[in-house]
């Protein structure tokens, strides 16, 4: 698809035509990645963050948030739980916490790899090339870094640079990750104030140009303790230009992402489930997605990892979450995948 075609589908409102789009995405998903749904166990290892991003509840200016950083033994225990529950991957996610040193996290990754057969995915924000290389050498398999928006001016407004050190291009970091041998993931928010239809179409086009292995897309959900959520920063465009953060537009982007990147692993996100707890994940899976991310973060910490408020399933135990997701996956005629579930590059034409 070229950008004009992507843009046309983003603005499409005819229900019958949208069902055709979703059917195409689902058929291509089945042909390219199959009917399995991969479970990635998420561990939110720290909510400390040096950044002051305008959209994220973890931002350093949120003085009301109780901060934590998990101990290495706690993280490894969560990885053991992931293996026990039959997951193929553990995802270690944090704010941009520079108290997590390079060697500190490398030791955690080494222990997980020594004790389990799990793939390890890291999501640590913008880290130095030296840290990224160290973690890869320690055994980390994948790295997630959302570029959030391809609109450079909007990105600079919502993502102020650190006071010290040069600003880094997330696109450049993604290319470094690929060179280091990581499976590389990225994604965007949908409906962030200031996001135009054209820039969202460009985002989807960029997914294909970067040849991403994993792509996460989800709705912008305002947090009151952020410049955007409080109204301190007003970036909203005129109604005919501003992308809404609705459930329907998320499904469109999931489908268009599958059509643009046929082999990618695409999650049906917790943020989507937050918009529609009853069936949001299932509808995402039916419209191109093939991954879900059950939460393994200990309850004492989970409620403080508040990127946005009122997150779905915040009180579920890991065991309850696993059972629920497996049942939901079976209910739509799909099955839980086994093993790490990495991108399977194929010679089958898209």
In-domain check, residue 276: yes
| 103-117 pLDDT tens trace | 999 999 999 999 999
CB 332 within 8 A of CB 284: no
In-domain check, residue 37: yes
Calculate what percentage of the chain has a pLDDT beyond 90.
Answer: 95
DSSP code string of 291-304: EE--B-S-HHHHTT
In-domain check, residue 86: yes
Q: What is the CATH number of the domain that holds 300?
A: 3.20.20.70
* For range 195-212, the mean pLDDT: 98
Residue matched to tokens 């470094």: 176
- Cα within 13 Å of Cα(295), Cβ side: 21
Query: What is the per-residue pLDDT for 349?
Result: 41
**CA 340 to CA 126: how far, in whole Å?**
25
In-domain check, residue 350: no
Residue 81 has pLDDT above 60, yes or no: yes
In-domain check, residue 344: no
* For range 341-345, the mean pLDDT: 90
Residues with Cβ within 8 Å of 257's Cβ and at least 6 positions away in sequence, in order, are 204, 207, 215, 217, 264, 266, 288
Band (166; pLDDT cuts 50, 70, 90): confident
In-domain check, residue 180: yes
Structurally, the chain folds into a number of domains equal to: 1
| 12-49 pLDDT tens trace | 999 999 999 999 999 999 999 999 999 999 999 999 99
**CA 176 to CA 254: how far, in whole Å?**
26
Residue 206 has pLDDT above 50, yes or no: yes
């Amino acid at each position: 698809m070229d950008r004009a075609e992507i843009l046309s589908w983003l603005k499409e409102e005819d229900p019958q035509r949208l069902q055709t789009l979703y059917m195409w995405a689902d058929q291509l998903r089945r042909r390219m990645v199959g009917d399995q749904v991969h479970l990635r166990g998420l561990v939110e290892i720290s909510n400390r963050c040096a950044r002051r991003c305008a959209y994220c509840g973890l931002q350093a200016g949120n003085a009301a948030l109780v901060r934590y950083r998990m101990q290495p033994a706690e993280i490894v225990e969560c990885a053991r739980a992931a293996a026990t529950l039959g997951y193929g991957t553990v995802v270690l996610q944090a704010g941009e916490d520079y108290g997590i040193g390079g060697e500190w996290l490398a030791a955690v990754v080494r222990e997980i790899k020594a004790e389990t057969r799990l793939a390890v995915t890291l999501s640590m924000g913008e880290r130095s090339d030296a840290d990224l290389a160290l973690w890869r050498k320690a055994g980390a398999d994948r790295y997630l870094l959302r570029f959030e928006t391809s609109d450079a001016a909007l990105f600079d407004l919502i993502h102020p640079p650190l006071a010290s050190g040069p600003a880094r291009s997330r696109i450049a970091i993604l290319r470094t990750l690929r060179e280091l041998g990581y499976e590389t993931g990225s994604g965007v928010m949908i409906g962030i104030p200031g996001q135009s239809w054209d820039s969202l179409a460009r985002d989807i086009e960029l997914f294909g140009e970067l040849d991403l292995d994993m792509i996460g897309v989800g709705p912008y959900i305002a947090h009151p303790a952020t410049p955007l959520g409080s109204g301190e920063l007003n970036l909203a465009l005129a109604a005919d230009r501003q992308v809404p953060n609705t459930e329907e537009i998320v499904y469109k982007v999931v489908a268009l992402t599958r059509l643009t990147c046929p082999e990618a692993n695409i999650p049906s996100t917790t943020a989507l489930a937050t918009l529609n707890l009853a069936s949001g994940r299932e509808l995402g899976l039916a419209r191109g997605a093939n991954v879900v991310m059950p939460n393994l973060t200990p309850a004492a910490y989970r409620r403080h990892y508040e990127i946005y408020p009122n997150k779905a399933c915040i009180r579920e135990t890991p065991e309850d979450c696993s059972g629920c997701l497996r049942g939901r996956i079976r209910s739509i005629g799909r099955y839980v995948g086994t093993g790490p579930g990495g991108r399977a590059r194929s010679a089958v034409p898209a």
